[in-house]
Amino acid sequence: MDQTQVPLLAIAQNYLATDHAPFYMPGHKRGQGIAPALREVLGSRPFELDLPELPDIATATTEAEKLAAAAYGAERTWFLVNGSTVGIHALVLAAVAAGERILVGRNCHRATIGALVLSGAIPTYLPTAYDHGRDLDLGVTPETLATALERYPDTKAVLVVSPNYFGVCGNMAALAAIAHHQNIPLLVDAAHGAHLGFHPRLPPSALQCGADGVVHSTHKVGTACTQASMLHCQGPRIDPQRLHHAVHLLQTTSPNFLLLLSLDVSRWQLHQQGKELFSQTLALAAIARSQLSQLARIDVITPATTPTLDPTRLTVLLHALGRNGYDIDQELFSRHRVMPEMPTLTQLVFILSIGTTSQDIQRLVAGLAHLTPGGAPLDPVAPCAIPPQICSPRQAFMAEQESVPIAQAMGRTSAELLCPYPPGIPLLCPGELVTAEVLATLTAIHRAGGAIHGGSDPNLSALRVLRTAV
């Protein structure tokens, strides 16, 4: 296919050049009715191009999806306007029926729990490897998957995250080979991996490694607008028609044209210029790592110490500095106007991409160089054993629930997902027993100042549990 073509960009240019009276949606009529205050902030272009799914746009979107499939090496690709979240939902709905077993990496994002609620699939969670010294999740290992498949021969699909938030990809080719040996599809939440495969010094993409279904948040590391994502499939283990139905079941019938356009242009840019642009990003990442390695008490995760690391993801370790990431996050912004992607208790995560400049890197290094040390070195709190599953996430979601003080939650069945960062491995998933170990770990992380995502009470004083046993 001719990857120099950008069908949705051609459509956009055509609409800009064609004067007409718009009697179609949306009601602002290409910006004619927009409030002046909003036009002042955004200008008029975004509204002129805020178009509904007119017939030529639908045709061009199909063409753009085919180009994306070819660029990524997939058999079929869908453009998504509700993030990787909707892609994960669609994949699980297409691959596993209610009551069937799916093996799920325990470091899964809450979108996966949502998919389990929607599908009614029964998860068996796979523990991920964990590096205590760096408080780092390393993903599902091939050994763990092989053992689980031997133990659960009724498994219908496997879902893993790669790369994870810290850029660790894991051995995807081995995971695919193990799953395929049993003719089971490997589904990959590659929300952070839309750029992989477009530069030889980046880890291979999940599709290149043989994964059957892959979701990309093209907005995270590609250059698409926020929410714009892609879902890809290949091979005989996923029915593309069922996946198509799932996407259409879950997505709006009014996809935002600007999001679709940004996906098409992002594909063009990655395919046509990815190698050149990511060479610059990789060079900036190397400079940042080299300069940061000169600083006392600051450590950086490197590809040398972490095989399968995406080098564009920069995780700074603060253990030796003795200060938590939340304080430093605030200081970096207030004093140096540097904003990390994510502070954790013991780390700061910075996303580098083709939009990153050398000035940004200078600021980042200067900001970290000015940090003064705190008290004692930080000691990570390791994730605990996966608690027993009392019921499926769907049953937990549908059951009557109540909020109880956290101290009284032991022995109850959780209705919530609680996931501390780091290392981004949920301690508790919906349908699981609240154990003493979980409560002790949650409390220790909270006391140390760690953030626990996913719960309804951010202060962690209460937990939603099932009202009665299922």
Residues at the interface with ligand PLP (CB under 6 A): 83-85, 109, 111, 161, 165, 189, 191, 217, 229
Smallest gap from Cβ 84 to ligand PLP, in A, equals: 4
Nearer to ligand PLP, 161 or 316 (CB): 161
Question: How many Å apart are CA 205 and CA 193, to the nearest integer?
Answer: 7
Nearest residue (beta carbon) to ligand PLP: 83
Nearer to ligand PLP, 111 or 140 (CB): 111
Nearer to ligand PLP, 117 or 368 (CB): 117
Nearer to ligand PLP, 233 or 409 (CB): 233
Nearer to ligand PLP, 219 or 289 (CB): 219
Nearer to ligand PLP, 219 or 237 (CB): 219
Contacts (Cβ under 8 Å, ≥6 apart) of 228: 79, 80, 81, 218, 219, 259, 260, 262, 263, 266
Beta strands in 289-369 (DSSP E): 299-300, 313-317, 342-343, 347-351
Contact (Cβ atoms closer than 8 angstroms) between residue 442 and residue 452: yes
Smallest gap from Cβ 222 to ligand PLP, in A, equals: 11
Half-sphere exposure (Cβ direction) of 48: Cα atoms closer than 13 Å: 14
Smallest gap from Cβ 417 to ligand PLP, in A, equals: 13
Smallest gap from Cβ 416 to ligand PLP, in A, equals: 18
* Furthest CA-CA distance within the chain: 68
Smallest gap from Cβ 189 to ligand PLP, in A, equals: 5
Smallest gap from Cβ 246 to ligand PLP, in A, equals: 16
Question: How many Å apart are CA 137 and CA 133, to the nearest integer?
Answer: 11
Contact (Cβ atoms closer than 8 angstroms) between residue 410 and residue 434: yes
Smallest gap from Cβ 109 to ligand PLP, in A, equals: 3
Give the pairing type, strands 313-317 and 299-300: antiparallel
Nearer to ligand PLP, 43 or 355 (CB): 355
Question: How many Å apart are CA 241 and CA 155, to the nearest integer?
Answer: 22
Question: How many Å apart are CA 360 and CA 366, to the nearest integer?
Answer: 10
Q: Residue 120: what are its φ and ψ, rounded to 5°?
A: 80, 10
